[in-house]
Amino acid sequence: MIPAAVGYVRADSVEAAVAALGEHGDEAKLLAGGQSLIPLMRLRLARPSVLVDMGRANDLRGISVDGDTVSIGALTSHSDLEHSAELAAACPLLAHVASQVGDPAVRHRGTLGGSLAHADPASDLPAAVLALGGTLVATGPGGSREIAATDFFTGFLESALAADEVLAGVRVPVSTGGWSYQKFNRRAQDWAIVGVAVAEGGAGVGLVNMGSTPLRASAVEAAVAGGAGASDAAASAAEGTEPPSDNNADPAYREHLVRVLTERALVAAGA
Amino acid sequence: MEVSVTVNGEVRTADVEPRTLLVHFLRDDLGLTGTNIGCDTSSCGACTVLVDGRSAKSCTMLAVQADGADVTTIEGLAGEDGLHPMQEAFHECHALQCGYCTPGMVMAAVSLVDEYSDMDADGVREGLEGNLCRCTGYQNIVKAVLAASE
Ligand SMILES: Cc1cc2nc3c(=O)[nH]c(=O)nc-3n(C[C@H](O)[C@H](O)[C@H](O)COP(=O)(O)OP(=O)(O)OC[C@H]3O[C@@H](n4cnc5c(N)ncnc54)[C@H](O)[C@@H]3O)c2cc1C
Ligand code: FES
Ligand code: FES
């Protein structure tokens, strides 16, 4: 289907994007890679009044490693993450998870910032950023603020960003300890029915599609910190989750899956 | 809005609504009907083109997003001296039946072999997961892509 009529402005920097959001009000929407927003607009599930296209804000694109911190611009594509030798060395979990998103064409255009701001519990990258204990940088009219990944996802497709704020970038610690990403799906190209991201041998564990937001498996992290083995720690993976029911799986099956996948991920990560 | 896109090496300018999908710009404004539309859900890949050398689903991109970009469609793939090696390989390996998925499949494959080196059959299958074919069972498509990547 063809999207509903919409206005369009180009914003080639973070400042221009913030200004455009301020000018056009609540019904305006940022457009990054468009790989979530355009499908929604085609189904007319999203009908923004104005698109603020920040796709060419090149100052928001790139990966840099400084000491023990990796900084990534919000417009960095999944494909950039997947192919970055620097990221593969400093934070292999994130590079690998990016390579598991959708298909190559989606990865060429979809961005890390879009994936996080969209706050879809079924997305892969939010779980990885949660497991890594990342920090998100939001820029608004009054300047920039930092939001811990654990505070960022506030509801189904809802984030802590204000209507006039732009997600400018993400910082994650350099993380080269044991890691794993287990994505369970049944068809090529599909979203995860359940996914589990493990960083630093189980110190950080993020869950995909186990509730209305991307989740952190705190009970598993605590068990690992307390010295539990993979199988014992994984037994608590469904604690505190509220898995959805859909054509692929009911909540009980998802709870089963998350325990199995968490154990596999912990074993692969050397827990 | 006026957009100016280099399509198959030629600068094409048109006045489009912001909501115009790139695939409709290519097909309806430029008459390049080689790029097909097979779904409403960004799933099938029939509409795949190259944007600045990399595969993109032209149904999941607005024409205004391509302003200033370099777009290659199936019509622009063959050169002066005949078919592109990927087209040649599809022909040689009989990698199509009805042909509906073929333009998108070929464009995705061209991008894939450029992006990933040393692919085996599994790599090709995974790399083409965003392109659906209802006829061939993929066997000969994989063969063709491997042949062209040698
Ligand atoms: C066929 C297909 C398969 C896919 N499969 C997967 C998959 O397996 N796993 C997965 O995780 N994802 C998948 N995706 C989604 C993909 O990862 C998207 O790229 C991503 O979810 C959104 O990124 P984007 O840059 O395209 O954002 P857009 O679509 O441009 O924007 C998405 C939302 O985020 C907002 N936004 C974007 N950037 C910012 C910013 N910097 N600051 C504030 N708000 C912003 C927009 O306003 C919009 O509301 C798939 C998509 C398709 C089309
Ligand atoms: S028409 Fe199906 S993915 Fe574009
Ligand atoms: S050849 Fe018919 S859909 Fe692929």
Query: Which residues of chain B are in CATH 3.10.20.30 domains?
Result: 2-73
Give the number of domains in chain A.
3
| A122 CA closest ligand 1 atom index | 11
Torsion, Cα B27 B57 B40 A7, to 10 degrees, reads -80
**Which residue among B24, B51, B112 places its CB closest to the CB of A104?**
B112
The pLDDT of residue A47 is 96
Pairing of strands A69-73, A204-208: unpaired
pLDDT in tens, B83-112: 999 999 999 999 999 999 999 999 999 999
B53 pLDDT higher than 90 = yes
Q: Is the CB of A102 under 6 A from ligand 1?
A: yes
The pLDDT of residue A36 is 98
Pairing of strands A50-53, A7-10: parallel
Distances (CA, A) of A196 to A78, A135, A220, A261, A265: 18, 19, 11, 6, 7
For chain B, what is the mean pLDDT?
97
Query: Counting every residue, how long is chain A?
Result: 271
Q: Is the CB of A80 under 6 A from ligand 1?
A: no
B137 pLDDT higher than 90 = yes
Q: A15 and A106 share a domain?
A: no
The pLDDT of residue B100 is 98
A188 pLDDT higher than 90 = no
Task: From A13, A15, A3, A9, select the one nearest A28 (Cα to Cα).
Answer: A9
Q: Which domain holds residue A16?
A: 7-53
How far apart are the two ends of chain B, measured CA to CA in Å?
A: 44
Q: A78 and A169 share a domain?
A: yes
Closest CA of chain A from B5, distance in Å = 15
Residue A146 lies in a domain: yes
Q: What share of chain B is helix, strand, coil (3-state, %, to 5)?
A: 40, 20, 45
Task: From A250, A37, A208, A241, select the one nearest A121 (Cα to Cα).
Answer: A208
pLDDT in tens, A86-119: 999 999 999 999 999 999 999 999 999 999 999 9
CATH architecture of B85-149: Orthogonal Bundle (1.10)
Q: How far is the CA of B115 from the centre of ligand 1 (A)?
A: 22
Nearest CA to ligand 1 atom 4: A102
Give the residue from A118, A142, A173 where a domain finishes.
A173
In contact, B78 and B87? CB cutoff 8 Å: yes
Tell me if residue B51 falls in helix, strand or coil.
strand
Percent of chain B with pLDDT over 70: 100
Contact status of B63 with chain A (Cβ, < 8 Å): no
The pLDDT of residue A271 is 81
What number is the average pLDDT over the span A147-162?
Answer: 97
Contact status of A11 with chain B (Cβ, < 8 Å): no
**Which residue among B40, B60, B127 places its CB closest to the CB of A34?**
B60
How many other β-carbons are positioned within 10 Å of the β-carbon of residue A254? 25
Task: Give, as one character, the DSSP assignment of residue A3.
Answer: P
Distances (CA, A) of A111 to A35, A105, B68: 8, 12, 20
pLDDT in tens, A211-270: 999 999 999 999 999 999 999 999 999 999 999 999 999 999 999 999 999 999 999 999
Give the CATH number, domain containing residue A189: 3.30.390.50
Give the residue from A133, A152, A173 where a domain finishes.
A173
For chain A, what is the mean pLDDT?
97
In contact, A186 and A130? CB cutoff 8 Å: no
Complex-level ipTM = 0.97
Q: How far is the CA of A36 from the centre of ligand 1 (A)?
A: 4
Residue A1 lies in a domain: no
Residue A204 lies in a domain: yes
Task: Report DSSP letters for A188-223, one per residue.
Answer: TTPPPSEEEEEEGGGTEEEEESSSSS-EE-HHHHHH
CATH architecture of B2-73: Roll (3.10)
Q: How far is the CA of A119 from the centre of ligand 1 (A)?
A: 9
pLDDT in tens, A35-89: 999 999 999 999 999 999 999 999 999 999 999 999 999 999 999 999 999 999 9
Ligand 3 pocket by C-beta < 6 Å: which residues? B 96-102, 133-136
Q: A112 and A43 share a domain?
A: no
Residue A167 lies in a domain: yes
Contact residues on chain A for B24, CB-CB shorter than 8 A? 2
Give the CATH number, domain containing residue A46: 3.30.43.10
pLDDT in tens, B7-31: 999 999 999 999 999 999 999 999 9
Q: A196 and A248 share a domain?
A: yes
Contact residues on chain A for B59, CB-CB shorter than 8 A? 42
Residue A130 lies in a domain: yes
Q: A98 and A145 share a domain?
A: yes
What number is the average pLDDT over the span B31-59?
Answer: 97
Residue A2 lies in a domain: no
In contact, A233 and A207? CB cutoff 8 Å: no
